[in-house]
Structures are given as C-alpha cells and as structure tokens.
C-alpha cells in the first residue's frame, strides 16, 4: 500500500511538469534495462510503443500479453516496444516480469524522472513515437476496446516510408 501511495503521489507531482507536445520530439532518455542500457534515440528509424507500467497496475497486467503479441507480429516491420517500470522496489518489478515473460525491451525508472519528462498522467500510459522520433499520440490506460484503434495507429506509422539512418 505504501508503494502505491508513493506512485500516486509521484504521478500527482509529475502532472505539474512540462507537458509533452503531441507534435514534438519524444524526450530522449537512457535507463538501465534487463539487457543493459535502454536509450530511446537508438530506436530511431523504428516505430516505438513506449509504455509506462508498475507491478501493482491491473491494466498493465492485461497489456503485457497484447504487447508480446504486437511485438511478435510487427517486429519485422520496425515496431519496437519499450516498457518502462516505475516500481520503487526492483523485486516487485522482477516478480511481475517473471510472471508476464515480456518479449520486448524493459527499462527501469524508479525515481520517475523519465515519467516526469513525459508528463505521465496515469498507468499504464503509452506514447506512440514515429520513425523520426516524433511523438504521434498518447494513450492513457489500457482497455480492450482501444486495441483496434491502437493497432490501426501503429500499422499506419509502420506503413509510412522508412527514413534513412
């Protein structure tokens, strides 16, 4: 319960930070990940589904199987999913990861610094970033009824001409 309160307070504080423009460049970051450093700018040339999650978040638990499926279906077309964990205790995140077996990149932001740069409003939150590193859209929460819209947006971005790196 104490960790939930900390995250809720963190989200409340972050809501007063600078908002991310839906037409601007996605803020770059470098975080520790499961397999080394995760740096957003290294994904340029791909469409990125940037997801913020925590182990206690019920909708996050529902989104992970869908993100696994999404990554498998669209990886060859240039989709990369990056899921940023905000748990204050790494053990909580590790337990969740063991249960959900993600097949996409995981990064850790326990102090919420990156979440603050994205003006996170709730969890889960996802930011869809185009191949040029521009923020395309923001999605708050995860509901089954939104999957078709999300997949349509992702497919549209994937079908746009690839940029030369």
Q: In which region does residue 45 sit, left (phi positive, over 0), alpha (psi from -120 to 50) or beta (all else)?
A: left
Q: Is the pLDDT of residue 17 over 80?
A: no
Q: Is the pLDDT of residue 16 over 70?
A: no
The model's pTM: 0.84
Q: Label residue 163 by pLDDT band (50, 70, 90).
A: low
Q: In which region does residue 78 sit, left (phi positive, over 0), alpha (psi from -120 to 50) or beta (all else)?
A: left
Question: What is the CB neighbour count within 10 angstroms for residue 47?
Answer: 25
Q: Is the pLDDT of residue 20 over 80?
A: no
pLDDT tens per residue across span 113-159? 999 999 999 999 999 999 999 999 999 999 999 999 999 999 999 99
DSSP state of 54: -
Q: What is the mean pLDDT of residues 40-61?
A: 97
Average pLDDT, the chain: 87
Q: Label residue 160 by pLDDT band (50, 70, 90).
A: confident
The helix/strand count (H/E) of the chain reads as 5, 7
Q: In which region does residue 88 sit, left (phi positive, over 0), alpha (psi from -120 to 50) or beta (all else)?
A: alpha
User: Do 16 and 107 meet the contact criterion of CB atoms below 8 Å apart?
Assistant: no
142/145 Cα distance (integer angstroms): 9
- In the chain, which ranges are E strands? 30-33, 36-39, 47-53, 79-85, 105-108, 125-129, 135-140
pLDDT of residue 23: 58
User: Do 39 and 29 meet the contact criterion of CB atoms below 8 Å apart?
Assistant: yes
- In 9-101, which ranges are E strands? 30-33, 36-39, 47-53, 79-85
Q: How far apart are the first and last CA of the chain?
A: 46
Fold of 2-159: Glutaredoxin (3.40.30)
pLDDT tens per residue across span 69-110? 999 999 999 999 999 999 999 999 999 999 999 999 999 999
């Amino acid at each position: 319960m104490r960790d939930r309160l900390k995250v809720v307070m963190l989200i409340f504080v972050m809501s007063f930070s600078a908002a991310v423009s839906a037409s601007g460049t996605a803020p770059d970051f470098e975080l520790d990940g499961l397999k080394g450093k995760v740096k957003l700018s290294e994904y340029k040339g791909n469409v990125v589904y940037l997801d913020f999650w925590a182990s206690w978040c019920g909708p996050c638990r529902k989104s992970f199987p869908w993100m696994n499926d999404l990554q498998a279906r669209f990886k060859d077309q240039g989709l990369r999913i990056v899921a940023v964990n905000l748990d204050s205790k790494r053990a909580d995140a590790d337990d969740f990861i063991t249960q959900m077996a993600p097949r996409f990149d995981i990064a850790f932001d326990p102090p919420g610094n990156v979440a603050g740069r994205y003006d996170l409003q709730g969890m889960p939150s996802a930011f869809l970033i185009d191949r040029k590193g521009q923020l395309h859209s923001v999605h708050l929460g995860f509901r089954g009824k939104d999957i078709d819209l999300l997949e349509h947006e992702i497919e549209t971005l994937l079908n746009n001409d690839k940029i030369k790196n």
